[in-house]
Amino acid sequence: MWKLCSLILLLLACALSPPTGCGAEKSQAASGAEGSPHAVNSAGGFQNNSGEVCPVCAPPTLGAKANADVASPSFRVPALCAPPSPGAPANSSICTDTCLVGKASTYAVVAPVGRQTISMITQASRLDTLEGKTIALVGGSFMAHLTHPEIKRLILRNYPTAHVILLEEIGSAGPFPGPGVVRKAKDDFQRKLKEMGVQAVISGNGGCGLCTPKETGSSIAAEYLGIPAVTIAGPTFVQQVYSTSVNHGVPAPRTATYPGAFAAHTREELLHNTREVLWPQLVEGLTKPITKQEIADLAKAAVGGTKDIVFTGTLDEVNQFFVENRWSDGLPVIPPTVARVEEFLKFCDLEWDKSVGVLPIAYRDTLAWHVAVNGVLAGCPPEFMPLLVAFTKALADGNYRRTLASTHAWTPFCWVNGPVARQLGLDSHQGQINEPRNAALGRFINLAMMNLGGYYVKQNRMGTFGYLMPWSLTEDEEACLRIGWQPYHVQLGYDLNQNALTAASALMWGNNLTPATDNPEKIMQLVAWDVVEKGQFATGSGPKLTPRTILITEYVARDLARGYPSKRELENALIATARRPAYERAYSNYWANPGSAFDPARYTVDMHLRKVIRNENGALTDPPPWFLKVPGLEKLYTVPVMHTGVTAILVTGDADRNKVQTVPGGNHATIEIKLPANWDALMADLGYRPLKEFFLK
């Protein structure tokens, strides 16, 4: 990995600090403009002061073959970048000293993050004692049915005059809403806190990326009323309590750390740890005064003026600075100079200081400027700016964003529909997510999660094993039209030649289905089986009805279209067929429950089965087509795993392979891509063909 990063940095250095063999002059002093004699050229590469394109730095010209050579005879190509092969043309050169990178240029760079919009509250003084106090003990996550009764017992044993109110009596706030969002649960909880005279709140247990903000929400709601609060969380999730609270304006949140994974501990371990580990922390959290140092330790660094130069240094130094400030994912970035950022802004009609949105979870005011800065960092070409704005708007959609902090590691990705995808050269065929342009858009998503949304691994983005690098793809709309299906955006009501970006998220990638038949019903049944197998969380233990994206290559889609003339008809057939035996669902959700463990002595699998059939629309049906026909088992209870309107079906990928890929994930958000009024002129200057040449009929 280190060697790979070193190689990338060296290639970037080659591009940004050009070799003398490329006609480069001595680098200019650092400024917000071009700090290097190489400027961005119309193809997204670089040119020297004479306007010549350097073969070390520049990609093939637009429309050239993948292996096209843009070298000029006056340039020497470094062996690192383009070694000559046997029998190469005469103008190929073996690298000499003229190819060595000269003195490193310096770059004056700007920050990629917006201003946080939520001000810090002044927290009330902590209590002098718990004696005689009314304490709300709320939350129901991660074995709270064992820890909370024990905490109540400890409170009353040590402070006999205290009064404890439990969840059943007062409820909880749920995730604390952002500015301008009304959430009835939070309002009701705060009203009851006041009505019941509550003087302290204990909330828990935080043991996953979604439940921790939910339980923290009750503590935040209490602190806003001047009521001291403590949130119980596992060691990994304490940082998420801090981050969630500070993002919502609580400067010094208090926590009690449970030592380990709640649901993996025995009853005896849970009770012991509650008494010996949690209890002292709870008392201290409610009674120990808040210090200035405590507030300072959790304070977020203030962001200065939007266009302020925050650092000046070499390529290596800029990269190190961005890593240290958590503005980079650790891979090399392009230095965001003012000049580079302004190039991006030419490709949208938004003023540089126009707010694209206040993005949770950090509630940063994201301006068009910040979107452009992150596009520069990611290595996107400036003409991607309309796509970057569209994804940023999608990131503000609560239904899309909700799962992105989960321990189950939903990885965000997107796809693009419309003629602009074809004009920009985004790929929809074999290996598409690894094609440079698709990959650059995926890299932007990764940086936008951090810098625009405020998602940080080990802080509030809690994937247990981490996350894949986000990716992007496009639908093969010409293939859709050939087989008579509507492209995805047309299904949503867009015109065929409108442009749209859909943000999605994935719990897995790969593990393709390969239908070995042209029978549309059999292919549909195979896809339905695959859908049943790929729900939210392994063994389908999570939410019962899962949003999915289903990728189908052209000829498999063609065969399906013979039996299902529209995607909607295919979806309806899948919904009817993709049913799971209720006992499988009950067994999975019982023994692999994503929250608390069940106690078999009090609540059995058979009891859970009856609940699943009752609550998840269980019905007595024929066994699934892929089941063995067993005499006496003509009918069994099954439950649905799909419902209408949350499955995206895309025709895409290598048309020469018979593949289907089911991608379970979170909700989709589709945003129109808005091009500037002078788009055609801007693109013509870069050598692109007019947008209308990419229209379909």
Which pLDDT tens digit goes with each residue over 99-129? 444 567 899 999 999 988 889 999 999 999 9
Whole-angstrom CA distances from 245 to 69, 115, 238, 248, 298 are 54, 17, 11, 5, 10
List CB contacts of 86: < 8 A, sequence separation 6 or more.
none
Domain shared by 85 and 205, yes or no: no
Report the distance separating Cα 596 and Cα 593, nearest Å. Answer: 6
What is the mean predicted confidence (pLDDT) over 523-537? Answer: 93
pLDDT (0 to 100) of residue 435:
96
pLDDT of residue 55: 36
What's the CATH code of the domain at 284?
Answer: 3.40.50.2300
Question: 402 pLDDT band (50/70/90 cuts)?
Answer: confident
Residues 143, 280 within the same domain: yes
> Which whole number is the average pLDDT over 647-664?
97
- Give domain status of residue 169, yes or no: yes
pLDDT grade for 26, boundaries at 50, 70 and 90: very low
Residue 394 has what pLDDT?
A: 96
- Number of domains present in the structure of the chain: 3
Which of 277, 298, 319 is the endpoint of a domain?
298
In this predicted model, which residue has the larger pLDDT, 43 or 634?
634
**pLDDT of 74 over the 60 cut:** no
Q: pTM for the full model?
A: 0.76
Mean pLDDT of 533-541: 80
Taking the C-alpha atoms of residue 302 and residue 325, their distance in angstroms, rounded to an integer, is 12
Average pLDDT of the chain is: 85
pLDDT at 301: 65
Predicted pLDDT at 503: 97
Q: What is the reported pLDDT for 300? A: 73
Average pLDDT over residues 373-388: 98
Residue 46: per-residue pLDDT: 36
Q: 341 pLDDT band (50/70/90 cuts)?
A: very high
- Give the whole-number percent of the chain exceeding pLDDT 70: 85
Q: Would you say residue 95 has pLDDT above 60?
A: no
Per cent of the chain over pLDDT 90 is 66
Q: Are strands 134-138 and 200-206 parallel, antiparallel or unpaired?
A: parallel
**Same-domain pairing of 197 and 54:** no
Structural domain includes residue 357: no
User: Comparing 68 with 407, which gets the higher pLDDT?
Assistant: 407
pLDDT tens track for 158-185: 999 999 999 999 999 998 988 878 889 9
Distance (Å, whole) CA 305 – CA 313: 19
Q: Looking at the structure, do residues 40 and 186 belong to the same domain, yes or no?
A: no
Q: Is the pLDDT of residue 31 over 50?
A: no
Report strand pairing: 46-47 vs 107-110.
unpaired
Q: How confident is the model over 290-313, as a mean pLDDT? A: 86
Would the pLDDT of 22 be above 50? Answer: no
Q: How confident is the model at residue 551 (pLDDT cuts 50, 70, 90)?
A: very high
State mean pLDDT over 531-539: 85
pLDDT tens digits, one per residue of 472-515: 999 999 999 999 999 999 999 999 999 999 999 998 898 999 99
User: Does residue 153 sit in the same domain as residue 100?
Assistant: no
Question: Cβ distance 510 to 486 under 8 Å?
Answer: no
CB 668 within 8 A of CB 490: no
More confident residue, 62 or 324: 324
Mean pLDDT within 573-594: 92
Residue with the two structure tokens 């790979």: 4
User: Is 615 found in the same domain as 541?
Assistant: yes
* Residue 440 lies inside a defined structural domain of this protein: no
**Mean pLDDT lowest for which of 58-62, 118-122, 194-198?**
58-62
- What is the pLDDT at residue 103? 63
- The answer to whether residue 387 scores a pLDDT higher than 80 is yes
Is residue 36 predicted with pLDDT exceeding 70? no
Domain holding 160, by residue range, is 134-298
* Mean pLDDT, residues 442-464 taken together: 88
Q: What are phi and psi of 549, to 5 degrees?
A: -120, 125
Same domain assignment for residues 527 and 645: yes
* Secondary structure, 3-state, 521-556: HHHHHHHHHHHHHCCCCHHHCCCCCCCEEEEECHHH
Q: What is the structure's pLDDT at 24? A: 35
Tell me, yes or no, whether 216 lies in a domain: yes
Model confidence band, residue 19 (pLDDT cutoffs 50, 70, 90): very low
User: Is pLDDT larger for residue 209 or for residue 397?
Assistant: 397
| Per-residue confidence (pLDDT) for residue 605, from 0 to 100 | 93
Residue 308 lies in a domain: no
Whether the pLDDT of residue 48 is over 70: the answer is: no
User: Pick from 228, 213, 120: which is nearest to 174 by CA?
Assistant: 213
Q: Are residues 181 and 59 in the same domain?
A: no
Lowest mean pLDDT among 73-82, 186-195, 508-517, 520-529: 73-82
Between residues 123 and 78, the one the model is more confident about: 123
CA-closest candidate to residue 59, choices 36, 42, 84? 42
Is pLDDT at 17 greater than 50 in this prediction? Answer: no
Same domain (yes/no): 165, 223: yes
Q: Is residue 383 part of a domain?
A: no
Same domain, 557 and 644: yes
Q: How confident is residue 319, by pLDDT bands cut at 50, 70 and 90?
A: very high
Average pLDDT rounded to a whole number, residues 73-102:
41
pLDDT at 612: 93
The Cα–Cα gap between 541 and 152 comes to 31
**What confidence tier does 232 reach under pLDDT thresholds 50, 70, 90?**
very high
pLDDT higher at 236 or 531? 531
Looking at the domain assignment, is residue 316 inside a domain? no
Question: Is there a domain that residue 305 lies in?
Answer: no
- Considering 90, 105, 120, which residue would you say is the last residue of a domain? 105
Please give the average per-residue pLDDT across 17-41, as a whole number. 34
Beta strands in 26-149 (DSSP E): 39-40, 46-47, 107-110, 115-116, 134-138
Mean pLDDT (whole number) for 347-365: 92
Q: Are residues 144 and 292 in the same domain?
A: yes
CA 583 to mean position of chain CA atoms: 33
Among residues 265, 298, 331, which one ends one of the domains?
A: 298
Q: What is the mean pLDDT of residues 295-316?
A: 85
72-81, 398-407, 517-526: least confident range: 72-81
- Do 613 and 516 reside in the same domain of the chain? yes
